[in-house]
C-alpha cells in the first residue's frame, strides 16, 4: 500500500470512529461503504482494525448499525508545554468568532488545554472568557464538514455558488478542494475550479449546495497556499487586473495604525519627520483593497496609481450626494 493510500485509510478510520460515536447504531457496513465509496469488504477490514488493533469494542446487532460498547474511545493524551497550550488556546478562542465551528466541542477543548496551566494563570485565562462568541450555525457546520471530508480524501466537489458581484447569480462548479481558511468573520474554500481552469476562493456562506463527487484529484504540482495568499490583498483576487505600484501617504493617527500592522508581503513603509508614513506595495487594486484605503478617509492621500485616486474621488462624491439627498 502506497503512502497516499495509507493516509487515506487512516483518515477513513478516524472518520468511521467519529461517525459511530456521533450516531450509534445508525452506520451499517453498507452505509459506511456508500459514504466512503469503497467496498463492504474494505469497511469490514476497517472495523477489524478498530476491534483488534485499537482494541475498541465496536458491536452491531441484526438490523442496526455499529456502536461502541462500554467507554467511548478517546484520542491518546498529548502533553503540551505552557507556551504550546497557550498558543492553542488563543487559536481556539479566535475560532469561536467564526460561526460554523462546533462551539461546545471547542469550548471543551479549551477547558482541557487550560488545565495544564498553574492555578493563578488558569484563573486569569478562565476569567478572560472562553464561552462561544458566535451562535451555532448548523448549515455552515455541515458545509465545512463536507468540504473537509473531501479535502482529506482528495475527492472533487460539485457546488452551486452564488456570485455576489453578479447580483446573486447562481453558477454550477466542480472544484478540487485544497484548503479551508477563516477570513472576515466567515470561512473560505480554496480550490481549483474546473470551469475557470484556475485556483479560486469560494465563500462558504455563498455555497447553496455542496456534494462530494466520486472522482478523485491530484493536488496541483507546486501549489503553495501561503504563496497563493501572499500574491494578493486579503482573500480577493483581481484576476484580470494588472499589478500596480501603489504609493500612499498616511497622516497621524492612521500612520501609526498602518505602521503597526503587516498588510502585504514585500510592503515598504517609510517614516517621515512629521509623523506621517509613505506606504508602498506592488499589488492588484481589488475592491477589497479599495475598501481598505477608503476606511482611512481624509488621513490618506493616494500618490499612485491615478486610477485608484480617481475611484476614491468618485466614491467620495457619491457618498456626499447620497448624504445630501437623504
Instruction: Please enumerate in sequence order all residues whose Cβ is within 8 A of that of 48, keeping only pairs 6 or more positions apart, or say none.
Output: none
Q: What is the CATH number of domain 243-325?
A: 3.30.70
**What are the pLDDT digits (tens) for 114-163?**
666 666 556 655 655 544 455 556 788 889 888 988 888 889 999 999 98
Poorest-pLDDT segment among 11-15, 229-233, 258-262 = 229-233
User: What local confidence, expressed as pLDDT, does residue 131 receive?
Assistant: 45
- Domain assignments of the chain as residue spans, ordered by start: 3-68, 82-127, 138-223, 243-325
- The whole model's pTM is what? 0.61
CB atoms within 10 A of CB 32: 23
Question: What CA–CA distance (Å, rounded) separates 202 from 284?
Answer: 19
Q: Is 3-68 in CATH node 1.10.10.10? A: yes
CATH of domain 138-223: 2.30.30
Is residue 102 within 8 A of residue 143, CB to CB? The reply is no
Q: Say if residue 198's pLDDT is above 80.
A: yes
Q: What angle do CA 294, 298, 303 make, to 5 degrees?
A: 75
Q: Is 138-223's fold the same as 243-325's?
A: no
Residue 132: predicted pLDDT = 46
Amino acid at each position: 500500500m502506497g503512502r497516499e493510500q495509507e493516509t487515506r485509510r487512516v483518515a477513513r478510520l478516524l472518520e468511521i470512529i467519529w461517525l459511530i460515536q456521533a450516531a450509534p447504531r445508525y452506520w451499517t457496513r453498507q452505509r459506511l461503504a456508500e459514504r466512503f465509496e469503497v467496498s463492504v469488504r474494505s469497511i469490514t477490514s476497517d472495523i477489524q482494525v478498530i476491534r483488534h488493533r485499537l482494541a475498541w469494542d465496536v458491536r452491531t446487532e441484526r438490523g442496526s448499525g455499529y456502536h461502541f460498547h462500554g467507554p467511548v474511545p478517546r484520542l491518546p493524551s498529548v502533553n503540551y508545554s505552557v507556551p504550546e497550550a497557550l498558543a492553542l488556546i488563543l487559536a481556539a478562542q479566535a475560532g469561536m468568532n467564526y460561526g460554523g465551528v462546533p462551539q461546545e466541542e471547542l469550548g471543551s477543548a479549551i477547558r482541557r488545554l487550560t488545565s495544564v496551566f498553574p492555578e493563578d494563570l488558569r484563573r486569569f485565562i478562565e476569567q478572560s472568557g472562553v464561552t462561544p462568541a458566535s451562535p451555532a450555525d448548523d448549515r455552515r457546520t455541515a458545509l465545512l464538514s463536507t468540504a473537509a471530508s473531501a479535502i482529506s480524501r482528495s475527492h472533487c466537489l460539485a457546488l452551486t455558488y452564488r456570485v455576489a458581484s453578479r447580483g446573486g447569480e447562481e453558477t454550477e462548479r466542480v472544484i478540487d478542494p485544497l484548503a479551508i481558511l477563516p477570513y472576515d468573520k466567515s470561512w473560505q474554500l480554496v480550490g481549483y475550479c474546473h470551469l475557470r481552469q484556475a485556483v479560486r476562493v469560494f465563500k462558504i456562506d455563498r455555497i447553496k449546495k455542496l456534494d462530494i463527487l466520486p472522482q478523485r484529484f491530484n493536488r496541483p504540482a507546486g501549489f503553495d497556499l501561503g504563496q497563493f495568499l501572499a500574491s494578493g490583498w486579503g482573500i480577493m483576487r483581481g484576476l484580470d487586473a494588472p499589478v500596480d505600484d501603489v504609493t500612499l501617504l498616511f497622516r497621524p493617527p492612521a500612520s501609526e495604525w498602518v505602521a503597526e500592522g503587516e498588510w502585504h508581503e514585500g510592503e515598504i513603509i517609510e517614516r517621515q519627520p512629521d509623523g506621517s508614513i509613505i506606504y508602498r506595495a506592488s499589488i492588484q487594486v481589488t475592491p477589497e483593497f479599495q475598501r481598505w484605503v477608503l476606511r482611512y478617509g481624509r488621513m490618506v492621500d493616494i500618490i499612485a496609481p491615478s486610477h485608484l485616486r480617481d475611484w476614491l474621488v468618485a466614491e467620495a462624491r457619491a457618498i456626499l450626494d447620497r448624504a445630501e439627498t437623504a
